[in-house]
Amino acid sequence: MLEVIEMLTIGFIVGLAGALVPGPMLLVTIDGALKNGWMAGPVVVAGHAAIELVICILIVLGMASLIGEHEMSIISVAGGVVLFAFGILTIMQARSSSRLVQKVDGIVSNPFSAGVLSSASNPYFWIWWLTAGSALVLRGLEIGLLAAVFFVVGHWMADLGWFTVVSVSMSRGKQMISDVVYRKVLLGCGIFLMGFGAWFAMG
């Protein structure tokens, strides 16, 4: 059970690191919150999670049955390298990033569709799931199906928590997290990604 909780924790921290970095999902969340209120954040995450659920099912049904020990080692190394690289990018982002960006017009009006499209159109999303994401899901499967599920749940909890904070903040016109705190959290996530990526690649 301890290993399952560890996968939940890893999923949450890794997910939080990805969620904190400004990207397409942040834009559509802000846009949706300004138009539709604070519920836009959770609905955007639901759309994001829907496409991730399909990917995870394909990983479990397809890749798990085809990949042997040698292939798993290659995926682990590739995933670790990507995690390490994302950690560096996260640390660089933390030096000058602000937790909120300006609203961008012309974004899909339906928050759920916006969550799907902002994920599917983001190349980093696919790089992540084809390398680090698939490696972590498969590592969870080595422990058991429950561990893999908990990793994904932890990942979604991070997304839901952060984007709900953003949407509530935007809908109320308040800054719920200061830039200083935001950058420190982002820096901590980046350091974690680098360390975990190095350990994962060598493991």
What are the pLDDT digits (tens) for 39-85? 989 999 999 999 999 999 988 887 655 555 555 666 667 767 777 88
| Arithmetic mean of pLDDT, 128-145 | 86
Distance CA 91, CA 193 (A): 10
Alpha helices (H) in 37-133, listed in sequence order: 40-58, 64-66, 69-94, 111-120, 123-128
How would residue 98 be classed by pLDDT, with cut points 50, 70 and 90?
Answer: low
The C-alpha atoms of residue 132 and residue 89 are separated, in whole angstroms, by 15
The pLDDT tens digits of the residues spanning 161-178 come to 999 998 888 877 666 667
Nearest Cα residue to 17 out of 148, 138, 196, 158: 158
Burial status of residue 76 (CB atoms within 10 A of its CB: 0-12, 13-18, 19 or more): buried
Are the C-beta atoms of residues 87 and 197 closer than 8 Å to each other?
yes
Task: Give Cα 67 to chain centroid, integer Å.
Answer: 24
Task: Please tell me the predicted confidence (pLDDT) of residue 102.
Answer: 47
In this structure, of 10-14, 29-33, 179-183, the range with the lowest mean pLDDT score is 179-183
* Mean pLDDT score of the chain: 80
For position 20, what pLDDT does the model report? 82
* pLDDT for res 17: 84
Rounded distance between C-alpha atoms, residue 83 and residue 122, angstroms: 17
Mean pLDDT of 81-102: 69
DSSP per residue, 80-102: HHHHHHHHHHHHHHHTT--S---
Q: Per-residue pLDDT for 108 more than 60? A: no
Quick one: average pLDDT of 16-36?
81
Closest CA to 193 of 75, 87, 72, 81: 87
Average pLDDT in the 25-36 region? 81
Q: How confident is the model at residue 12 (pLDDT cuts 50, 70, 90)?
A: very high
